[in-house]
């Protein structure tokens, strides 16, 4: 893969200071470049839908970036987002459950949140975020220590639970964590979930070269605040 298809990029602005004007600029670029979607904070879903006028999709984040909201808060946020017309949801699950050894509770939350979204509109795309930087360094495939093995096991548990939940994507990193997505992350998770589960990467994807490397590693989609620069570098 030596080219990047614009529809494989989500153009994002999750800035705490993002204004309506900023969101309009984002949406204008999404339409001009034919990106997959404009990804905005929940407060801007209606604005983005109005600016895009059906010309592209709108995505948002839920319990971002920590995943530490109680389940009912996440459910309410999902319902509100879907009612406001969102097309894609990037949700942060409660990863602490896995660290505590409660894989059942972790997976139950995933299933509840997928069901909440899909029962409102079946075509809503659901992604769950694994913050791999909490468990693993950026390059780890060539390393074999007890810490690395423990980290890989937690990422494995999270990945397989997301597949079983009925979600559409595993998203690697929020872009707000210790680090962003790495090629090792993509290669490892792809080896766990096989060719059919979709993978989105985010965090620190600023250049065409970085994007190409991640796509070659097995990513299907990338989220970035630098989508126009990546496309314009082609």
CATH number at residue 97: 3.20.20.70
Q: Which of 10, 47, 87, 90 is catalytic?
A: 90
Q: In terms of pTM, does the model score above 0.85?
A: yes
Kindly give the confidence (pLDDT) of every residue in the chain, 234 residues in length, as a single tens digit, with 9 standing for 90 and above: 578 999 999 999 999 999 999 999 999 999 999 999 999 999 999 999 999 999 999 999 999 999 999 999 999 999 999 999 999 999 999 999 999 999 999 999 999 999 999 999 999 999 999 999 999 999 999 999 999 999 999 999 999 999 999 999 999 999 999 999 999 999 999 999 999 999 999 999 999 999 999 999 999 999 999 999 999 975
Q: What domain count does the chain have?
A: 1
Q: Is 134 exposed, middle or buried (0-12, 13-18, 19+ CB in 10 A)?
A: middle
Is 200 inside a domain boundary? yes
Length of the chain: 234
Q: What is the separation of C-alpha 96 from the centre of its chain, rounded to a whole number of angstroms?
A: 18
Distances (CA, A) of 126 to 66, 140, 200: 17, 28, 11
Is 13 inside a domain boundary? yes
Q: Which of 87, 127, 171, 185 is catalytic?
A: 171
Q: Is residue 47 annotated as a catalytic residue, yes or no?
A: no
Is 170 inside a domain boundary? yes
Is 98 inside a domain boundary? yes
Buried b (16+ CB within 10 A) or exposed e, 199-220: bbbbbbbeebebbbbbbebbbb
Q: Is residue 171 annotated as a catalytic residue, yes or no?
A: yes
Q: What is the separation of C-alpha 179 from the centre of its chain, rounded to a whole number of angstroms?
A: 14
**Residue ranges making up the domain that contains 181:** 6-232
Looking at residue 1, what is its pLDDT?
58
Helices (H), 56-102: 71-83, 96-99
Is 190 inside a domain boundary? yes
Is 183 inside a domain boundary? yes
Is 177 inside a domain boundary? yes
């Amino acid at each position: 893969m030596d080219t990047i298809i614009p529809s494989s990029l989500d153009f994002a602005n999750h800035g705490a200071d993002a204004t309506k004007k900023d969101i309009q600029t984002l949406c204008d670029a999404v339409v001009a470049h034919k990106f997959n979607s404009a990804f905005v904070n929940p407060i801007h879903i209606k604005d983005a839908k109005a600016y895009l006028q059906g010309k592209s999709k709108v995505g948002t984040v839920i319990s971002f970036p920590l995943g530490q909201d109680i389940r009912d808060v996440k459910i309410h946020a999902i319902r509100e987002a879907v009612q406001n017309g969102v097309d894609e949801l990037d949700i942060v699950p409660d990863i602490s459950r896995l660290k505590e050894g409660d894989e059942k509770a972790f997976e139950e939350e995933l299933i509840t949140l997928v069901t909440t979204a899909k029962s409102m509109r079946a075509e809503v795309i659901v992604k769950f975020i694994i913050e791999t930087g909490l468990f693993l360094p950026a390059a780890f495939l060539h390393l074999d220590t007890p810490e690395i093995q423990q980290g890989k096991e937690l990422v494995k548990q999270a990945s397989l639970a997301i597949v079983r939940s009925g979600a559409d994507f595993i998203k690697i990193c929020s872009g707000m964590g210790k680090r962003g997505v790495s090629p090792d992350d993509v290669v490892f998770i792809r080896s766990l979930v096989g060719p059919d589960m979709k993978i989105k990467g985010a965090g620190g994807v600023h250049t065409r070269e970085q994007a190409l490397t991640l796509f070659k590693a097995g990513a299907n989609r990338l989220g970035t605040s630098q989508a126009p620069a990546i496309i314009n570098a082609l």
